[in-house]
């Protein structure tokens, strides 16, 4: 049978039971090549040829002596495409926002000023922070002169559009908005290990368009374990924020929002409800750029900041075999030891910490970071290798001696979360759209639970607060020592993923959701409460 997208969606609608059994469930969809493709937006202005723009340096912000930092969200013009100016919404007016560098043990107090015309919320993704600093979708900074009644209007419009009288009756609690006038401070205790986190907007129903327009940036945590390893630093540590976009004839960002003002009607036009993707890959805000690297070992820290695009990346020299990567860390920390791989998968919101060695290449060689994609967006970044060989020295054999591998024996509760399309435009978890006042689970502080994620489609599932290890993945690698500690995991169509998740440090209300931002905006979120 032909297992096309419609069949899958129909199976998702009609297939009863948690696993939605259908003909498509027989293993036909196990290979990445068979994942349904999203329809990318097409740019309508000239896009520079690959590797003609230099990789920009993203400014770094460090907290002051008392841990304080301030960023202002504002509209700005950015020169993303050479010679054109693009209106963006940016932290400090930048796309991506400044990279924040923090240290384990030194709390950060981040003040955000909202000088935009829309409400915002800033979530530190992968961060361990108290619930009132977690930047949830209802905890908003509203701009000067904004009428809060618009928030309820948008929520009602969203539900009407997503669920037009299909007989579902979803009992909703009153919406517990928390509103801050023009600015607020988030408190991050920085109890966690070194990792590349990121911060981004998380406004209810409008995260997709607001991140697309620029409200995201990288956040590094350093610690002593990392300091003690001989890892490449400074110019040889590259932080790479990958995000696909598309541009209109004037070089403005295209996004199929139902309400381009991003005020009253959430959601995207029908053809894009599976997720919005573009036809230009931006790295640190530049289109398919190039950079020069020395002939030695480098550390690449990758962030998939795309709204919906899955990446599979490899390093391709002009001649000879692909260069291997050594994976040394995943979303929220170092692995116990390096793992050598030929290609890496990176779902939206995932990060990877990689070592690559350019010393075997001749002076002047070019190595491309390529994305295996069926829809043509295959070029990402070029490394032009230059200079004298720097002998890389041995790889560290141990990265984190105290790496804690979670085991089934520690599990005190098991829960299942099924990610599925229901109704017209409704992406649900366990059959329900997001209920802002509800809670689907109440794990106990300090315990480990087994959470099983199942799905009808492709969903990068993200858990706030609780870091996890993958214990079982029907379509992928399950070795926790290869995957490390994570906060986001891809659940492929008809996939089943079990994670062991540990809840530490804070009690209170957090959330899990799909990190395909269009699914998230169309209700694929749920609260849980750590008790």
Edge-first strand order for the sheet with 290-295 is 290-295, 379-389, 366-371, 311-317, 344-346
Compare residues 125 and 297 and give the one whose CB is closer to ligand C2O.
125
CB of 514 to Cu ion, least distance (A): 3
Q: Applying CB under 5 A, which of residues 516, 518, 522, 526 lies at the interface with Cu ion?
A: 516
The helix (run of H) or strand (run of E) holding residue 483 is: helix 480-483
DSSP string, 187-250: EE---SPSEEEEEEE--TTTHHHHHHTT-EEEEEEE-HHHHTS----GGGEEEEEEEEE-B-TT
Q: Which span sits near Cu ion by CB under 5 A: 47-55, 130-138, 203-211, 451-459?
A: 451-459
CB of 201 to ligand C2O, least distance (A): 9
How far apart CA 400 and CA 389 sit, in angstroms, is 29
How far apart CA 416 and CA 503 sit, in angstroms, is 17
Of 452, 417, 414, whose CA–CA distance to 526 is shortest?
Answer: 417
Q: Which span sits near Cu ion by CB under 5 A: 2-10, 157-165, 166-174, 514-522?
A: 514-522
CB of 506 to ligand C2O, least distance (A): 15
Residue 370 structure tokens? 């390529």
**3-class secondary-structure state, position 318:** coil
Neighbours of 275 (CB within 10 A): 24
Edge-first strand order for the sheet with 448-455 is 426-429, 411-422, 448-455, 496-502, 467-473
CB of 306 to Cu ion, least distance (A): 13
Kind of pairing between the strands at 237-245 and 379-389: unpaired
Q: Which does 490 bind (CB under 5 to 8 A by kind): ligand C2O, Cu ion, none?
A: none
CB of 368 to Cu ion, least distance (A): 30
Q: Which does 459 bind (CB under 5 to 8 A by kind): Cu ion, ligand C2O, none?
A: Cu ion
Compare residues 125 and 502 and give the one whose CB is closer to ligand C2O.
125
Compare residues 110 and 273 and give the one whose CB is closer to Cu ion.
273
CB of 349 to ligand C2O, least distance (A): 5
* Radius of gyration of the CA atoms of the chain, in A: 22
492 binds Cu ion (CB under 5 A): no
Report CA-CA distances (Å) from 191 to 107, 187, 223.
8, 12, 10
Neighbours of 57 (CB within 10 A): 12
How far apart CA 257 and CA 154 sit, in angstroms, is 13
CB of 266 to ligand C2O, least distance (A): 16
Residues in the interface with Cu ion (CB under 5 A) total: 4
* Nearest residue to ligand C2O, by Cβ distance, number only: 125
Compare residues 98 and 317 and give the one whose CB is closer to ligand C2O.
98
CB of 152 to ligand C2O, least distance (A): 22
CB of 13 to ligand C2O, least distance (A): 26
Compare residues 200 and 379 and give the one whose CB is closer to ligand C2O.
200
How far apart CA 442 and CA 499 sit, in angstroms, is 16
Q: Which does 120 bind (CB under 5 to 8 A by kind): ligand C2O, Cu ion, none?
A: none
Neighbour-count burial of 20, counting CB atoms closer than 10 A to its CB (0-12 exposed, 13-18 middle, 19+ buried): buried
CB of 525 to ligand C2O, least distance (A): 8
425 binds Cu ion (CB under 5 A): no
Q: Which does 349 bind (CB under 5 to 8 A by kind): Cu ion, ligand C2O, none?
A: ligand C2O
Compare residues 200 and 298 and give the one whose CB is closer to ligand C2O.
200
How far apart CA 69 and CA 50 sit, in angstroms, is 36
Compare residues 113 and 515 and give the one whose CB is closer to ligand C2O.
515
519 binds Cu ion (CB under 5 A): yes
Using CB under 6 A, list all residues that contact ligand C2O. 123, 125, 200, 202, 349, 462, 464, 513, 515
Of 15, 59, 45, whose CA–CA distance to 422 is shortest?
Answer: 15
Q: Which does 309 bind (CB under 5 to 8 A by kind): Cu ion, ligand C2O, none?
A: none
459 binds Cu ion (CB under 5 A): yes
How far apart CA 158 and CA 266 sit, in angstroms, is 5
Q: Which does 464 bind (CB under 5 to 8 A by kind): ligand C2O, Cu ion, none?
A: ligand C2O
Compare residues 15 and 127 and give the one whose CB is closer to ligand C2O.
127
CB of 136 to ligand C2O, least distance (A): 8
Compare residues 202 and 459 and give the one whose CB is closer to ligand C2O.
202
CB under 8 Å to 463, separation ≥6 — which residues?
A: 451, 487, 488, 499, 501, 510, 512
Q: Which does 38 bind (CB under 5 to 8 A by kind): Cu ion, ligand C2O, none?
A: none
514 binds Cu ion (CB under 5 A): yes
Q: Residues interacting with Cu ion, by CB under 5 A?
A: 459, 514, 516, 519
């Amino acid at each position: 049978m032909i297992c096309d997208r419609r069949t899958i969606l129909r199976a998702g609608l009609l297939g009863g039971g948690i696993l939605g059994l259908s003909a498509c469930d027989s293993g036909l969809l196990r290979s990445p090549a068979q994942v349904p493709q999203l329809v990318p937006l097409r740019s309508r202005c000239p896009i520079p040829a690959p590797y003609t723009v230099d990789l920009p340096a993203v400014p770094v912000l460090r907290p002051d002596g008392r841990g304080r930092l301030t960023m202002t969200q504002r509209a700005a013009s950015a020169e993303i495409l050479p010679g054109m100016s693009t209106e963006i919404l940016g932290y400090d007016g930048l796309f991506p926002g400044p990279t924040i560098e923090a240290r384990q043990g030194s709390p950060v107090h981040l003040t955000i000023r909202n000088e935009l015309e829309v409400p915002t919320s800033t979530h530190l993704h992968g961060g361990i922070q108290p619930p009132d600093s977690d930047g949830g979708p209802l905890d908003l900074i509203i701009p000067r002169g904004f009428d809060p009644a618009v928030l309820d209007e948008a929520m009602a419009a969203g539900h009407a559009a997503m669920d037009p009288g299909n007989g579902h009756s979803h009992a909703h609690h009153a919406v517990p908005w928390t509103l801050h006038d023009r600015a607020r401070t988030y408190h991050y205790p920085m109890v966690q290990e070194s990792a590349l986190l990121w911060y981004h907007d998380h406004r209810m129903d409008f995260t997709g368009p607001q991140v697309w327009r620029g409200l995201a940036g990288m956040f590094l945590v350093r610690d002593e374990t990392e300091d003690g390893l001989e890892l490449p630093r400074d110019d040889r540590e590259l932080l790479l924020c990958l995000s696909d976009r598309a541009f209109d004839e004037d070089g403005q960002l295209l996004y199929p929002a139902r309400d381009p003002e991003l005020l009253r009607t959430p959601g995207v036009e029908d053809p894009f409800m599976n997720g919005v993707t573009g036809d230009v890959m931006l790295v640190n805000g530049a289109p398919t750029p190039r950079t020069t690297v020395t002939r030695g070992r480098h550390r690449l820290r990758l962030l998939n900041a795309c709204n919906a695009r899955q990446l599979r990346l490899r390093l391709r020299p002009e001649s000879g075999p692909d260069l291997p990567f050594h994976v040394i860390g995943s979303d929220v920390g170092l692995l116990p030891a390096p793992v050598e791989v030929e290609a890496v998968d990176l779902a939206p919101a995932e990060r990877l910490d990689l070592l690559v060695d350019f010393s075997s290449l001749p002076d002047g060689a070019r190595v491309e970071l390529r994305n295996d994609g069926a829809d043509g967006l295959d070029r990402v970044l070029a490394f032009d290798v230059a200079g004298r060989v720097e002998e890389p020295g041995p790889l560290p054999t141990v990265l984190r001696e105290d790496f804690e591998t979670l085991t089934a024996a520690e599990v005190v509760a098991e829960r299942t979360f099924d990610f599925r399309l229901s109704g017209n435009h409704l992406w649900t978890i366990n059959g329900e759209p997001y209920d802002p006042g509800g809670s689907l689970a109440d794990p106990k502080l300090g315990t480990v639970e087994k959470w099983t994620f199942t799905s009808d489609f492709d969903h990068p599932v993200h858990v706030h607060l609780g870091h996890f290890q993958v214990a079982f993945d029907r379509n992928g690698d399950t070795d926790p020592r290869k995957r490390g500690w994570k906060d986001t995991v891809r659940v492929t169509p008809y996939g089943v993923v079990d994670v062991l998740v540990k809840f530490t440090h804070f009690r209170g209300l957090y959330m899990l959701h799909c990190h395909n931002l269009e699914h998230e905006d169309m209700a694929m979120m749920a609260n849980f409460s750590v008790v």
